[in-house]
Amino acid sequence: MDNQKIIPFLEELELEVQGENVGVAISLLLSDWERVKGELETFYRNRDQKSTLQLMKKGIGFFIQFLYWSNDRKVNSKEPIPFNLLEIKPVNLDERFTYILSRPNLFHSYRQLSELFTEQEKLFAKKNITKKRLSQKGDL
């Protein structure tokens, strides 16, 4: 994937920098995504594709933030996303994300974005469980 194509797209998004408590920030981000997801579902159900673009951009921004934060990285909209350096990420992220960015207002892009969120949530939960178990073993 040519990440250079993503940079102009990222610059137009309002990406937030994570605070000290990543868990709380991610919880807030995921609840915002659920709200946006509900609105998108309504637009797609009513076949109102024209109204979906801004919400999809917001959802894509949320996913980028979630991807960075769940990998303990700070969001940087001036640089390409280092997919190859991310520890936890959904399968075939490059191809799937390229598809979403190339056709952001299509229903299939919305479905793909929703699936990426679900997969990343599972991977993030698994990472936290593993980290917690390792820290408990260290305390013994």
pLDDT of res. 2: 52
Phi, psi of 82 (to 5 degrees): -85, 70
pLDDT of res. 108: 97
Q: pLDDT truncated to tens, each residue of the chain (140 aa)?
A: 555 555 555 555 555 555 567 788 899 999 999 999 999 999 999 999 889 999 999 999 999 999 999 998 887 767 777 888 899 999 999 999 999 999 999 999 999 999 999 999 999 999 999 988 888 876 65
In 3D, which of 15, 31, 1 has the Cα closest to residue 68?
A: 15
Q: Report DSSP state, residue 18.
A: P
Instruction: Give the global pTM.
Output: 0.85
Residue extents of the structural domains in the chain: 3-139
pLDDT of res. 6: 59
Contact of 98 with 21, CB cutoff 8 Å: no
Return d(Cα 121, Cα 126) in angstroms, integer. 9
